[in-house]
Structure 1
Amino acid sequence: MRDKVKVLLDRALEENSELFLIDFEIKSGNNIAVVIDGDKGVSVEDCIAVSRAIEHNLDREEEDFSLEVTSAGVGSLLSLPRQYKKNIGRRLYVKTADEVYEATLIAADDAAIQLAWKAREPKPVGKGKVTVKKEITLPYETIAEAKVVITF
């Protein structure tokens, strides 16, 4: 069953190249759970199209199942380079083994992300503080957790 669903899912995502798979699993009782994302977001119609592409090609007479196709929520963790790329310019919360950053994502490629932020630091000479611009490049393997910071 898993292989058949994966083939149908891949075919559905090929039909809309802006969509990509975040997670796919078949839980106990043949509960199929699919999480998708898109370069320009995911609409309800996108979820319906993927769901239909899978459901209409499976035979309920052969094996009973339930199917849930959802989008990666706004507070979901980022896990793929493609998700980072679509969020360039947005503020991220990024946790590594050693540090936590809340900064603007200014670049992302297939190997790493680049964050930028402003910090207040003591002046090199004299009293007071000065605002400095900081940047860091983080390879994906160093990121323990990352998500978009929602601001209102």
Structure 2
Amino acid sequence: MEFRKRIEELLNEFLETRKDLFLIDLKISAGDDITVILDGDNGVSLQDCLDASRAIEFNMDREEHDFSLQVMSAGLSEPLSTPRQFSKNIGREIEVMLEDSSKIEGELSKVDDEKITLVLRYRKPKDIGKGKVDVEEEKEISYPEIKKALVVIKF
């Protein structure tokens, strides 16, 4: 069996036993350095990473195929890419870069299998008189429109 397919199979078997976890990325370099990035509905613990690592390592023969393995959780700097990732960040501010290279920042309010919805808040000049008014509007963005989405970290 092809090396990558075997790794994917072992990961899928592990994730079947841990429904709260999901795969974000699997990278295998030319030198067989394996990097697995996991996320979870309730976060990813060190034990979760160890369990995933063991599920792969204990079922692979290093004599047959030498490799290095790194299993990690998706950090705040990782782009959001799956509906499950977006769902766990409802209520947070996110910045979305669209395929046309424009950026939108807003509070993630809804997520489904086709799109996300952001609440945009800004001030605009009054129609009559001086001053500005607070405006809040919803913007739906389909997944194919999203080039990159990141959680905005505020201090």
Superposed pair shares fold, TM > 0.5: yes
1:124 equivalent in structure 2: 127
User: Matches of residues 46-85 of structure 1 in structure 2 within 5 Å?
Assistant: 46-85=48-87
Q: CA deviation at 1:63?
A: 1.4
Question: Which of the numbers 17, 30, 33 marks the counterpart of 1:31?
Answer: 33
1:104 equivalent in structure 2: 107
1:62-96 C-alpha deviation (Å, 9 max, x unpaired): 11111111111111101111110111011101111
Q: Give secondary structure in 2 for the equivalent of 1:2.
A: helix
1:144 equivalent in structure 2: 147
**What CA distance in whole angstroms lies between the structure 1 residues aligned with 2:61 and 2:50?**
18
Unpaired segments ≥5 residues, structure 1: none
Q: Give secondary structure in 1 for the equivalent of 2:141.
A: strand
TM-score, normalised by the number of residues in structure 2: 0.94
Counterpart code for 1:86 = K
**What CA distance in whole angstroms lies between the structure 1 residues aligned with 2:55 and 2:76?**
25
**What CA distance in whole angstroms lies between the structure 1 residues aligned with 2:6 and 2:19?**
20
Q: CA deviation at 1:119?
A: 0.9
Unpaired segments ≥5 residues, structure 2: none
**What CA distance in whole angstroms lies between the structure 2 residues aligned with 1:98 and 1:51?**
37
